[in-house]
């Protein structure tokens, strides 16, 4: 079933651009597809000059279609660098971020929430790439807030595979410069915040990298109630995704990605059950709210972060060390931030590969 297709016909000749289906099979990038089409178009032009009757000029529909395709190939690029420290699969492993000048920064405090002046595109820090199981998260209590793996009972934590899902089913991460205030009672959910940056699900076709900063647009949100706390999950798509222009609000998600919203609610409902915990609950009976609602929620958590980083509220154990927030009492010089990075561990004892990665759990809900 095709979710997006570029098909243009011109009189006696037809140009069929590559299609994309919901299986998201391995395919060329948008730029590669466009360059491929441009090569075909260039050869057609040469033949048209030799035989204008057999190869007529393309119709306006072709030209319009190609312009749309070319525009979709103009990507927003990230200027942040990933710096891994410590042995992978060990409790010492960390992923730090650096800016374009190679200076260490905090992914929580030093990356702007908004990626454009219109405040319609957001920066998302990827903690967990799709199809992986390691429970990676921004470390709140460490200087520069590197990404590390959660530890449970002294062991690295992995989420279970609950049939038919394998690992996380989206690129999972957080919006920088947001904070779900644990002292704020949310009027919509009736629960307080969970003391974390707001969580983000990126549903596009590409599997991102751990620590990557994606530029995304907001589509909607679901509200998980996790052990009595509000845990918003903001649904987004990378603005560089081939179908990003077709998905602008929550209703579009079901049209372009049929079944994904239902699967997402199910995933959060059951993913802790193999660990002996009850199924998670949701506000609004698991109904996803639209982009306007989600945008308002993100704006609120951004204001909470501003209070946090400016020391207007208790830090709740969060390191607010930063290099860019003017007026923040936690602001430090670049040299001081680089020193924090330099002192981070480069060792660590790798743990054996967890059996969780291969095991499949079959969950039956009542």
Residues 109 and 320: beta-carbon distance below 8 Å: yes
Neighbouring C-alpha atoms within 13 Å toward the C-beta of 155 = 10
From residue 282, how far is each of 66, 79, 160, 272, 292 by CA, in Å?
44, 36, 20, 14, 19
Query: Six-digit token pair at 328?
Result: 């923040």
Residues 267 and 260: beta-carbon distance below 8 Å: no
Residues 96 and 176: beta-carbon distance below 8 Å: no
Beta bridge pairs of residue 95: 84, 147
Helical H segments across the chain, by residue range:
30-50, 60-72, 250-256, 260-270, 291-309, 334-342
Determine phi and psi for 68, rounding to 5 degrees: -60, -45
- 133: helix, coil or strand? coil
Domains, the chain, with CATH or none = 111-142+157-319 (3.90.80.10)
Residues 96 and 144: beta-carbon distance below 8 Å: yes
pLDDT tens for the chain, residues 1 to 366: 444 433 333 333 333 333 333 333 333 443 444 344 444 444 444 444 445 444 444 444 433 443 343 344 357 878 999 999 999 999 999 999 999 999 999 999 999 999 999 999 999 999 999 999 999 999 999 999 999 999 988 899 999 999 999 999 999 999 999 999 999 999 999 999 999 999 999 999 999 999 999 999 999 999 999 889 999 999 999 999 999 999 999 999 999 999 999 999 999 999 999 999 999 999 999 999 999 999 999 999 999 999 999 999 999 999 999 999 999 999 999 999 999 999 999 999 999 988 878 899 999 877
pLDDT of residue 75: 74
Q: How long a stretch of residues is the chain?
A: 366
pLDDT of residue 157: 95
Nearest Cα to Cα of residue 134 among 150, 154, 112: 150
pLDDT of residue 133: 96
CA–CA dist 179, 138 (Å, integer): 12
pLDDT of residue 355: 80
pLDDT of residue 139: 98
Parallel/antiparallel/unpaired status of strands 155-156 and 289-290: unpaired
Beta strands in 106-264 (DSSP E): 122-128, 136-138, 147-149, 151-152, 155-156, 161-162, 171-174, 192-193, 199-202, 213-226, 229-238
Query: Six-digit token pair at 64?
Result: 């319009």
pLDDT of residue 12: 32
Question: Does the predicted model carry a pTM greater than 0.85?
Answer: no
- 243: helix, coil or strand? coil
pLDDT of residue 69: 39
């Amino acid at each position: 079933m095709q979710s997006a297709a570029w098909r243009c016909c011109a009189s006696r000749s037809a140009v069929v651009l590559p299609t994309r289906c919901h299986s998201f099979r391995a395919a060329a990038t948008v730029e590669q597809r466009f360059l491929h089409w441009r090569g075909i178009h260039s050869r057609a032009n040469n033949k048209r000059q030799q035989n204008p009757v057999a190869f007529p000029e393309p119709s306006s529909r072709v030209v319009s279609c190609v312009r749309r395709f070319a525009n979709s190939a103009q990507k927003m690029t990230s200027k942040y660098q990933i710096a891994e420290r410590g042995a992978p699969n060990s409790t010492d492993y960390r992923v730090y971020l650096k800016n374009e000048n190679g200076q260490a920064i905090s992914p929580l405090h030093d990356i702007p929430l908004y990626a454009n002046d219109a405040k319609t595109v957001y920066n998302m820090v990827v903690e967990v790439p799709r199809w992986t199981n390691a429970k990676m998260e921004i470390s709140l209590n460490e200087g520069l807030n590197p990404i590390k793996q959660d530890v449970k009972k002294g062991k690295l934590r992995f989420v279970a595979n609950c049939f038919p899902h394998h690992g996380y089913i989206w690129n999972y991460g957080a919006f920088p410069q947001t904070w779900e205030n644990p002292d704020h009672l949310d009027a919509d959910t009736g629960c307080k915040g969970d003391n974390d940056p707001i969580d983000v699900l990126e549903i596009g076709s590409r599997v991102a990298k751990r620590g990557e900063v994606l530029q995304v647009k907001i589509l909607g949100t679901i509200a998980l109630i996790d052990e009595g706390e509000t845990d918003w999950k903001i649904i987004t798509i990378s603005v560089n995704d081939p179908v990003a222009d077709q998905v602008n609000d929550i209703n579009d998600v079901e049209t372009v990605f049929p079944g994904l919203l239902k699967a997402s609610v199910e995933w959060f409902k059951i993913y802790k059950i193999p660990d002996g915990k009850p199924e998670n609950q949701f506000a609004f009976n698991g109904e996803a709210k639209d982009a306007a609602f989600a945008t308002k929620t993100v704006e609120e958590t951004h204001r909470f972060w501003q209070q946090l980083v400016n020391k207007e509220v208790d830090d709740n154990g969060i390191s607010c060390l930063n290099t860019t927030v003017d007026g923040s009492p936690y602001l430090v010089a670049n040299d001081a931030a680089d020193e924090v990075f330099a002192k981070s561990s480069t060792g660590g004892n790798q743990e054996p590969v967890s059996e969780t990665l291969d095991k499949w759990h079959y969950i039956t809900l009542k």
